[in-house]
Amino acid sequence: MTPAVLAAVDGSPQSTAAAHWAAEEALRRGVPLRLLHAWPWLTDGRASFADPEDLPAAAQRMLTLTAEDVQARHPGLTVQTDVVLDAAVDGLVAAAEDAALLVLGSRGLGGFTGLLLGSVSMAVAGRAAVPVVVVRPTDRAEEPAGERAGEPAVPEVVVGVDAAAPDDAVLDFAFRAAALRGARVRAVHGWDLPPAFAVVGFLPSGSEMAQLQAVEEKALADALAAHRRRHPETEVVEEARLGAARTLVEDSAGAALVVVGRRRRPHDIGPRLGRIAHAVLHHAQAPVAVVPHD
């Protein structure tokens, strides 16, 4: 069975934006879209699916209306709906195990207006076994290249690369996303000054900075070499700059998608998202994909 694209919906504008973004992604991939609503008040302690007739009318109406809206705007797409009997985070994480990816809105109905990213989206992005894409209502639908003023003539998928320890799962996701969109990959490696400069207490000279920059650019080129060979049809722009999170946020303006990695943890202690993924999720101006890796 082909894994579906899964989108969580709760009736909020954020979740509606996520559902439509997920519909476009499902059409690109040629797979069904599955709309999921978590209903914790009906939980019996097991993450099982309910018969629609058992659900309160408001919840079922919301799910049905969202599915009808999505199908009207995306004809030909197979849309399935389900309700999971569990709290939002646990239910979505469990339901996504067999999905191609999970798409979430930045905040749900329970969020505070001043927050850029809700607690459910943050928690799910840090725990899910599959890539999680977080979409905001302000993330515009992807249009053909050149139709949006001030944006790149060629659409871009921006991916954060740890040149010292590049991960295939993150890069594979980014290159596939670019291929599906006819986009180029902008591979961003943010680097920091060596600790020795902080200890000594002065900034490197211009020539020293040039040497450091050359080393980081070489590391990035080496990290991308195998993926360039596997995807010769994809244009790649390499960018090595001081400050990873800042660079990714800046490059997100006009991007079709920003891709960051999230290391899987063998235990539940401590934060599940690194500082770069955390910052990008809060501040990027495009949908953000968080890809788990070992």
Does residue 240 come out as left (phi exceeding 0), alpha (psi in the -120 to 50 range) or beta? Answer: beta
What pTM did the predictor assign? 0.86
Q: Name residue 209's amino acid.
A: M
Q: Would you state the pLDDT for residue 266?
A: 60
Q: Which residue has 């992005």 as its token pair?
A: 125
Give the tokens for residue 244: 């990873």
Instruction: Encode pLDDT of 50-83 as tens digits.
Output: 555 556 566 778 889 999 999 999 999 999 998 8
**d(Cα 18, Cα 6) in Å, to the nearest integer?**
10
Instruction: Encode pLDDT of 226-235 as tens digits.
Output: 999 999 999 9
Which parts of the chain register pLDDT below 50?
42-48, 108-116, 140-141, 143-149, 269-270
Give the tokens for residue 198: 């902080």
Give the tokens for residue 37: 């609503």
- Structural contact between residues 77 and 33, judged by C-beta atoms closer than 8 angstroms: yes
Strands 236-242 and 132-135: unpaired
Q: Would you state the pLDDT for residue 106?
A: 82
Q: Would you state the pLDDT for residue 206?
A: 83
Q: Would you state the pLDDT for residue 40?
A: 62
Q: Would you state the pLDDT for residue 44?
A: 44
Question: Among residues 256, 260, 261, 250, which one has the least CA distance to residue 284?
Answer: 250
* Domains of the chain with CATH codes: 5-135 (3.40.50.620), 156-293 (3.40.50.12370)
